[in-house]
Structure 1
Amino acid sequence: MRNIPWIPSVSSGIHRRILNASLVILPSFRGRKMIYGFSISLILINLASIMERADENLLPAVYKEVSAAFDAGPTDLGYLTFIMNFLKSIASPLAGVLALQYDRPTILAIGTVFWALSTGAVGVSQYFQQVAFWRGVNGVGLAIVIPSLQSFIADSYRDGTRGAGFGLLSLIGSIGGIGGSIVATVMAGRDYWGFPGWRFAFIVVAFASLLIGFLVYFYTVDPRKTSPGNFGDDDTHERSRLVGNSVFPPLSIWKDSWITARSVMKVRTFQIIVLQGIVGSLPWTAVVFFTMWFELIGFDNKSSAGLNSLFAIGCASGSFLGGVIADRVSRRYPDSGRIMCAQFSAFMGIPFTWILLTVIPQSVDYWYSYAVTLFLMGLTISWCATCANNPMFAEVVPPKHRTMIYAFDRAFEGSFSSLAAPAVGMVTEKVYGYNAKTVNLADGSVAGAYALSRGLLTMMIVPFGLCCLFYTPLYFVFKRDRDNARLAASAKDLELM
């Protein structure tokens, strides 16, 4: 793979031809195999997203039961989330390297096997250290899967509809998050054949994930195979020749991966989105404590599951709504529309966090107040990834670099945001006096709920404000980076012709 400059030296007439060529509309999805008018590839990719989100939501939904089983406090529980998120982040570039050697269905299957086996292992672990180890393995599996899913969608939709494409993936994937949270929270309240319900939930999700992984491997078609003309160059053909010739990527692949990574990290838009994402991801990591907070207030398992479900439904609907709105706004304001939508979404996290954690009395009598607030909060704060970040990433690099840019975004953002969960635990215990040994997890605790709410407030309201502010430089750099990527991709196509 040659290190091709992203701003080719061509005449003004060729410039116009290149820009026109870059606007060719791609089909909304390229999978050839259909069933009842739906692409099998699309169905399976969304099923993989459902199971991925279900897996991520399992542990937070049973924090109380895990705390009782292993005598763990909020800080210990936060470390479990930290270990998974940190390894999920730093291992993400592996997905970009694998994309140069294997088709994405193969990569997705590899990652699914990792997370399925580790999820089942958590369900049978007898010591806290075992849970921590398998959560780390789980993070590696998710690190391989998530960037591959994102680049798969980016290659399947044209520029003007990617917000809706990513929003749809998020909406359908959220079904898994909601289902995983509900199933785990409800099952945690009873035993099955003498087996604790929370453990049984982990094993069920593990088997379902493994099944989806096999189906993705055998029946999903990579968009690059069905429309090679849109992505093909000498590098793509070289990758196709290498597939299946060796188990491990050859040395040339590692060299090409380094060149690609350097090119991606030089893009200003990438740098700015990663900067805002480092702080913008902190609140989303902190919300894993919502279930524990509800139960400390005094809500039972079903009431807590209902509140979490409404928040998840709001987030799922908001991610799709934000993507669709941004698509329409970007047609009118192509250089700034997506940025404005992202800033609005980040700003809305400030008032809703304040209302949720400080204004509504922490009592079981206010379930409906919590329900409405959580739904509206999820509906408005969940836009950023689908309305701006993911669609803009696809526009500022050539197609062959897309898996790598999503992988490095996860690496930088996730590695820092993973600190939020243990930070919430430490603030809750050290600053606000939460004591796991004196708190009654079975019947709730006023003091424990107050302490945890203040820890959440600290780790949510300030990052939301900084996230909104850090989007501002994109007004000055996004247009230039997008035009450079279009020129580079189209110039390569003309060269091959």
Structure 2
Amino acid sequence: MELTSVATPASNKSEKMEEKGEKEMPKVEQDQMQEEREPSTLILFWLCCVSALEGMDTQLVPACQFALQRDLGLQLGHFAVLFTVQMVLTNLAAPFWGILADRGTLKRKTILMLGAIGEGVAITIFAFVPNFWVMMFLRGMSGFFLASLRPVCNGLIADLTSDNKRGKIFGRVQSALLVGMFCSLLIAGNVANPYVGNIPGWRFLFAGGGVVAFIVALGLGGFLTEPPHQLDESAKVKGCAAVRTELCTVLSFLRIPTFCVMIMQGVFGTIPWSVMGNNLLFFKFCGLEDWQASILAAEGTVAGVFGNSIGGMIADALARRFGYHGRPLSAQITVAIGIPMVFLQFYGIPPGEGTFGVYFALIAVFGLLGSWAQSGTNFPILSDIVPASDRSKVMAWECAMENSLANAIGPSMVSSLAFAFGYKFGAEELSGQSLSSARALGQAMAATICIPWMITLAAYSLLHWSYPRDMRRLHAKQEAAKEQMQV
């Protein structure tokens, strides 16, 4: 698999040797080093911290659903609105941050710091909110700043990592996101509901989240060393011409069949993940204790930490064995395993009949075997199909396009279906157990997750056609450009 050239420490060393008149490194050895590139431990650590910060935020509000319904009178539909507002701002802002990064307008380190600081301000103020309307504004603010984190992180990883190791590195950073989700869920599940004096625990929870975000921002400023970034000629264009250039870039992405397939699978593949945060409420209504429900809700993220790492390495191995068919095959395997596990969890086992141990086993299998697609397939393929100078942008646009639809559909769909099936939040629910509401929520969750994932499974099959085709075209274009430069 041909690699797009980027500036690396090895290339800088080669330039210095040439200046001194020393013998250059043999080409075979240079090629071998290119095939074994990956981020340094320090850079990878801070990229993982950024990813963990995003994971922490995604679970704060879902983990506090019971307390917020109790203290502020919110309904299930309010949480759907909060989530949708946040994701709309995320989707609108992601291309903006990606363009700033790829054009070199701001250093990628600076963008990550701004994202962490903005997120810290938003969730700190959330700790003092009096009503739903202020919450809605703050979740939009969080969405705007969180949008800067993932595209820039993914662009850095793609630049610093060789093709045959991208699944492994993306898996580690994705695992860090799940670690953030795990910590948020585990702490929130036990802290959000009790009171400290007259102050509900969820307010302390959000204030603590703000402190974590500020610490990450300080760490990035003090310790993250930004690697060289390859820019193309379009980065020199300014003003209205720059806007036209970026629009042309987006249109060029849409002419890549694999990019369109990734959007298609992303829309249906993201709908289930947009509603997974309801599982804590589901377990609580099933009659499980707070500590049991929080462990189960957090368990999926812990298993996913290992699952993402395993999935990334499996996808790398399949790519070495089957070429451009390996990563699509890995995604098909993981989605096919995940669908029955989720179906059993929310629908196959009637609420009240499932034990803590049974749910624990189902979630463990799903986390280990049903979470490979993002790290092993999606991010590596998006890194491959465009030149190095467009990697942050292609990640940002793909996420924006898929999430715009997925997050508009998922939360509202599960909320509407749950009420249609008989969900309510009354005196019985306040007592902690309500099998009728659990049954209604479980049916809504099963439908909202399993049906879209069946479509996602079919969409991944199309990559067996589009991905090899697009890679051949990209390599031919790069070879033609090299020959023209030599002439």
Please give the TM-score of this superposition, normalised by the length of structure 1: 0.86
In structure 1, what is the equivalent of residue 460 of structure 2? 471
- Indicate the larger mover: 215-224 or 63-72: 215-224
Structure 2 partner of 1:162: 166
Matches within 5 A, 1:113-152: 113-152=117-156
Q: Is the 8 A contact 1:87 1:415 kept in 2?
A: no
Deviation of 1:484 after TM superposition, in Å, equals: 2.7
**C-alpha displacement of 1:439:** 4.3
**What aligned pairs does 1:229-268 form with structure 2 within 5 A after superposition?**
231=230, 233-234=232-233, 238=236, 250-268=239-257
Instruction: Report deviation, 1:170.
Output: 1.0
Q: Deviations over 1:221-245 (max 9, x none)?
A: 22325xxxxx355556x49xxxxxx
Which residue number corresponds to residue 346 of structure 1?
Answer: 335
TM superposition shift of 1:281? 0.9
How far apart are the structure 2 equivalents of 1:22 and 1:488? 21
Secondary structure of residue in 2 paired with 1:48: helix
2:417 is matched with which residue: 415, 422, 427? 427
Quick one: which of 203, 206, 209 aligns to 1:202? Answer: 206
Structure 1's 61 and 494: CA in aligned 2 closer, same or farther, altered over 3 A? farther
Q: Give the 3-state SS of the residue equivalent to 1:336 in structure 2.
A: helix
1:318 Cα offset (Å): 1.3
Distance 1:269 1:82, change over 3 A: same
Please, which runs of 5 or more residues in structure 2 have no aligned partner? 1-29
| Deviation, structure 1 residue 327 | 0.3
Look up the SS of the partner of 2:355 in the other structure.
helix
- Equivalents in 2 of 1:140, 1:457: separation in Å? 30
In the superposition, relative to structure 1, how do residues 163 and 444 fare at CA in structure 2: closer, same or farther (>3 Å)? same
The partner residue of 1:284 within 245, 248, 273 is 273
Whether the 8 Å CA contact 2:35–2:164 is kept in 1: the answer is: no
Higher relative contact order (CA 8 A, sep 6+): 1
The answer to whether the 8 Å contact 1:347/1:468 transfers is yes
Tell whether the 8 Å contact from 1:95 to 1:144 is kept in structure 2 after alignment.
yes
* Deviations 1:328-387, CA, capped at 9 Å, x for gaps: 011011121111110111122221122112232422860110011111112222111111
Q: 1:491 to 1:155 in 2, by over 3 A?
A: farther
Q: Is the 8 A contact 2:122 2:139 kept in 1?
A: yes
Counterpart AA for 2:179: I
Cross-structure match for 2:20: none
User: Counterpart of 1:320?
Assistant: 309
- TM-align CA RMSD: 2.3
Matched residues in 2 for 1:58 and 1:156: separation? 32
User: What is the aligned residue count?
Assistant: 455
Q: Name the CA distance, whole Å, in 2 between partners of 1:215 and 1:306.
A: 30
Alpha-carbon distance in 2 for matches of 1:440, 1:179: 26
Report the Cα offset of residue 105 of structure 1: 0.9
User: Higher mean Cα deviation, 127-136 or 311-320?
Assistant: 311-320
Give me the TM-score of the superposition, normalised by structure 2: 0.88
Change (3 A) 1:217 1:83: same
Residue 38 of structure 2 aligns with which residue?
Answer: 29
Q: Which amino acid is the alignment partner of residue 423 of structure 1?
A: M
1:365, 1:409 → 2: CA distance? 38
Q: 1:209: Cα distance to partner?
A: 0.4
Report SS of the residue matched to 1:68.
Answer: helix
Distance 1:173 1:358 in 2: 28
The answer as to whether partners of 2:350 and 2:439 remain within 8 angstroms in 1 is no
C-alpha change, 1:405 and 1:439, in structure 2 (3 Å) is farther
Secondary structure of 1:335's aligned partner: helix
Query: Which residue number in structure 2 is paired with residue 12 of structure 1?
Result: none
- Tell me if the contact between 1:283 and 1:463 (Cα under 8 Å) persists in the aligned partners: yes
Q: Which residue of 1 aligns with 2:17?
A: none
Structure-to-structure mapping, 1:439-478, within 5 angstroms: 439-478=428-467
Segments of structure 1 that go 5 or more residues without pairing to the other structure are 1-20, 32-37, 226-230, 240-248
C-alpha distance in 2 between matches for 1:301 and 1:66: 15
* Aligned-partner residue type, residue 25 of structure 1: Q
Structure 1 position 261, deviation (Å)? 1.8
The question of whether the paired residues in 1 share the 8 Å contact of 2:59 and 2:181 is answered with yes
Select the residue among 159, 180, 196 that pairs with 2:184.
Answer: 180
Structure 1 residue 269, shift from structure 2 partner: 0.4
2:74 is aligned to 72
2:367 is aligned with 1:378: yes
* Structure 2 letter corresponding to 1:411: A
| 1:87 corresponds to | 89
Identity %: 23
Q: Distance in 1 between matches of 2:219 and 2:307?
A: 29
